């Protein structure tokens, strides 16, 4: 067998000032040309392992490291990062952390020029990176003017231009919309399959793992707890759920159908499963009747937010909101979806008064907000930012939860019951006197949400509530919002996660180019496949599988619903 290109032997690391091992007893071989995915819940040690591979640990990040890591014959403890750079590159989760040139070309040439290559070689590598990654059109653009997906492509280009043998990607798509994710994963796949570069990818997106990985390692509490081929790992669905991982819907239904003897093995992609199910003999060629009751919506409640003919432009050129009118009803749990730049955040920030549209009118709880300040509106409508660090600034968790009610002039004693309840709801009882910066990202996300809830607004808006969260944390956050919604509060979320839309929301608003394309119940909206494509939105895998099969209804939203319907059709066939 060939020698591994990366050899990790009994590696442990403890951060300076900590007692807990961030990674523990790690042993792993990675082979040339392999596409290895490292996944696991938040805090499992995935990013720490990445930083060990290119020498950031122990040369920059301080702590105690034991064991050895050998990369292309080089011991990472003996070779600093700049000596490792020609052989192994690291692309971070936040593209902005790696972009600092005045143009895309400057960013891409930075790596090769710092490796000491002459002008001709640097230019050759720029042309190769721009061409291979299909980003020639961005050459003269300023990085700060690019979309999220374009920025990540340029960050990849800067590492790729150094032509390393190995590239590590630390959750490179967590901040991107579905189209951006697909574009970046396509680039990573080509780097691996076409150009032969070994890939180590840290990723939560289980659907993409199933599509691209040769092998999967699952980490938990610093250790590798599962490792094998993609098929071997995804067969262990119960174990993955125990670890807080989200099993892809196509694999979940595939396992159920394999158990029933319908299929012999579980395909690793939705498209492969569709092909197999289409080929099954003896099933009808026309769809069974859809459940009409499922399409009926509940009686409409009164409006709590009304936006009429909103027009907004940041620079007075392209309208981010282009004559948008929409009403959100009391008790709605609504998802606002669409690609980055569709106008979702602009619409929500206009509703809370952070942005002032050039024209149009907004009513919140029947009151025109034109002359109201954000502080005045906060009693009726709360906003949770995508990045919790943008709205956390007190010295303790408890102070953060009291900050809103105190500034609304509410009596502390009267606020106490709600604050204590919210403290329990967000799972931070043990940390009430802790400085918020010491909390994990998921805990800070829950705290920022709790700080809004303690103000007891009628409407809660959450911008990307699950970005960067593992599946367990995602469900925790969404269950908290559902509990709030069950109490009669109106909840509006901006999200790219269609599975949580189907699980939790009773309404979906689809935006594109500053306009509203679709507005209705998830069962209705996700049947409008062609319109969704124009907004770069795709239904969940289970919906897509059902829509591809001639005998299934087109408005299936869950694995259980698919299984029950499919089983009934088989029995009746």
Per-residue pLDDT at 549? 94
Let me know whether 331 and 460 are in one domain. Answer: yes
On whether residue 239 sits in a domain, the answer given is no
**What is the arithmetic mean of pLDDT over 231-236?**
89
Let me know whether 177 and 188 are in one domain. Answer: yes
On whether residue 233 sits in a domain, the answer given is no
Supply the CATH number for residue 207's domain: 3.40.50.300
Beta strands in 458-565, from DSSP E residues, in sequence order: 459-463, 490-494, 507-512, 515-520
Q: pLDDT, tens digit, for every residue of 440-463?
A: 777 888 899 999 999 999 999 999
On whether residue 247 sits in a domain, the answer given is no
Let me know whether 176 and 325 are in one domain. Answer: no
On whether residue 418 sits in a domain, the answer given is yes
On whether residue 155 sits in a domain, the answer given is yes
Let me know whether 406 and 514 are in one domain. Answer: yes
Angle at 450 between CA 447 and CA 455, to 5 degrees: 140
- pLDDT-based confidence at 296, cuts 50/70/90? very low
- pTM, 2 dp: 0.85
Q: Which of 22, 26, 15, 25 is nearest to 43 (CA)?
A: 22
Let me know whether 478 and 468 are in one domain. Answer: yes
Let me know whether 109 and 159 are in one domain. Answer: yes
On whether residue 355 sits in a domain, the answer given is yes
Residues facing residue 382 across a β-bridge: 460
Q: pLDDT, tens digit, for every residue of 505-533?
A: 999 999 999 999 999 999 999 999 999 99
On whether residue 148 sits in a domain, the answer given is yes
Per-residue pLDDT at 307? 95
Domain residues for 140? Answer: 35-58+84-221
Q: Is the pLDDT of residue 69 over 90?
A: yes
Domain edge (last residue) among 197, 221, 245: 221
Quote the number of domains for the chain. 3
Let me know whether 206 and 257 are in one domain. Answer: no
- pLDDT-based confidence at 573, cuts 50/70/90? low
Let me know whether 320 and 388 are in one domain. Answer: yes
Let me know whether 491 and 547 are in one domain. Answer: no
Q: pLDDT, tens digit, for every residue of 118-133?
A: 999 999 999 999 998 8
Let me know whether 572 and 475 are in one domain. Answer: no
- pLDDT-based confidence at 144, cuts 50/70/90? confident
Domain edge (last residue) among 221, 237, 269: 221
Residues facing residue 32 across a β-bridge: none
**What is the arithmetic mean of pLDDT over 10-33?**
94
Per-residue pLDDT at 390? 85
Alpha-carbon gap, residue 450 to 465, rounded angstroms: 12
Q: pLDDT, tens digit, for every residue of 181-231?
A: 888 888 899 999 998 999 999 988 788 788 889 999 999 999 999 999 998
On whether residue 379 sits in a domain, the answer given is yes
Alpha-carbon gap, residue 422 to 330, rounded angstroms: 22
Per-residue pLDDT at 294? 41
Q: φ, ψ for residue 302 (rounded to 5)?
A: -70, 160
Domain edge (last residue) among 203, 221, 239: 221
Q: Which of 567, 562, 510, 557 is nearest to 178 (CA)?
A: 510
Termini Cα distance of the chain: 51
Q: Is the pLDDT of residue 33 over 70?
A: yes
Per-residue pLDDT at 293? 41
Let me know whether 441 and 297 are in one domain. Answer: yes
Alpha-carbon gap, residue 531 to 526, rounded angstroms: 9
Let me know whether 534 and 554 are in one domain. Answer: no
């Amino acid at each position: 067998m060939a020698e591994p290109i990366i050899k990790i032997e009994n590696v442990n690391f403890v951060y300076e000032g900590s007692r807990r091992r961030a990674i523990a007893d790690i042993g792993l071989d990675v082979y040339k040309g392999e596409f290895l995915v490292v996944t696991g819940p938040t805090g499992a040690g995935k990013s720490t392992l990445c930083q060990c591979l290119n020498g950031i640990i122990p040369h920059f990040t301080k702590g105690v490291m034991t064991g050895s890591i050998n990369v292309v014959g080089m011991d990472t403890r003996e070779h600093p990062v700049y000596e490792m750079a020609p052989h192994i590159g690291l692309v971070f989760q936040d593209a902005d952390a790696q972009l600092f040139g005045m143009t895309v070309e400057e960013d891409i040439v930075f790596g090769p020029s710092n490796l000491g290559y002459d002008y001709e070689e640097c230019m050759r590598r720029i042309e190769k990176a721009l061409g291979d990654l299909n980003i020639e059109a961005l050459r003269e653009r300023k990085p700060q003017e690019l979309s999220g997906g374009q920025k990540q492509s340029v960050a990849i280009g800067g590492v790729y231009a150094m032509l390393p043998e190995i590239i590590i990607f630390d959750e490179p798509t967590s901040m991107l919309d579905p189209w951006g994710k697909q574009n970046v994963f396509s680039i990573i796949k080509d780097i691996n399959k076409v150009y032969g570069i070994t890939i180590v990818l840290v990723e939560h997106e289980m659907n993409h793992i199933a599509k691209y990985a040769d092998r999967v390692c699952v980490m938990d509490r610093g250790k590798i707890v599962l490792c094998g081929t993609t098929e071997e790992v995804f067969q262990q669905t119960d174990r993955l759920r125990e670890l807080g991982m989200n099993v892809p819907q196509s694999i979940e239904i595939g396992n159920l159908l394999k158990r029933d003897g319908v299929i012999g093995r579980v395909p690793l992609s939705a498209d492969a499963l569709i092909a197999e199910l289409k080929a099954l003999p003896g099933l009808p060629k026309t769809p069974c009747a859809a459940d009409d009751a499922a399409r009926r919506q509940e009686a409409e409640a009164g409006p709590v937010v009304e936006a009429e003919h909103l027009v907004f432009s940041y620079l007075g050129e392209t309208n981010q909101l282009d004559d948008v009118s929409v009403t959100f009803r009391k008790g709605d749990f609504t998802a606002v979806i669409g690609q980055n730049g569709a106008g979702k955040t602009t619409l929500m920030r206009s509703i809370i008064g952070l942005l002032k549209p050039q024209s149009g009118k907004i009513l919140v709880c029947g009151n025109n907000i034109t002359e109201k300040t954000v502080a005045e509106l906060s009693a009726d409508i709360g906003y949770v930012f995508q990045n919790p660090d943008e709205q956390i600034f007190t010295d303790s968790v408890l102070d953060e939860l009291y900050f809103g009610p105190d500034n609304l002039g509410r009596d502390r004693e009267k606020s106490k019951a709600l604050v204590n309840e919210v403290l329990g709801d967000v799972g931070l009882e043990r940390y009430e006197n802790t400085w918020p910066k010491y909390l994990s990202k998921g805990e800070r996300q829950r705290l920022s949400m709790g700080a809004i809830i303690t103000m007891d607004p009628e409407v809660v808006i959450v911008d990307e509530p699950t970005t960067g969260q593992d599946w367990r944390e995602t469900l925790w956050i969404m269950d908290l919002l559902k509990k709030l919604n069950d109490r009669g509060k109106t909840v509006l979320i901006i999200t790219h996660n269609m599975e949580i839309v189907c699980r939790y929301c009773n309404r979906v608003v689809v935006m594109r180019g500053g306009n509203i394309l679709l507005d209705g119940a998830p069962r209705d909206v996700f049947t409008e496949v062609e319109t969704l494509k124009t907004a770069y939105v795709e239904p969940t895998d289970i919906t897509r599988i059902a829509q591809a099969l001639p005998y299934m209804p087109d408005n299936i939203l869950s694995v259980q619903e698919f299984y029950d319907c499919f089983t009934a059709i088989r029995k009746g066939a």
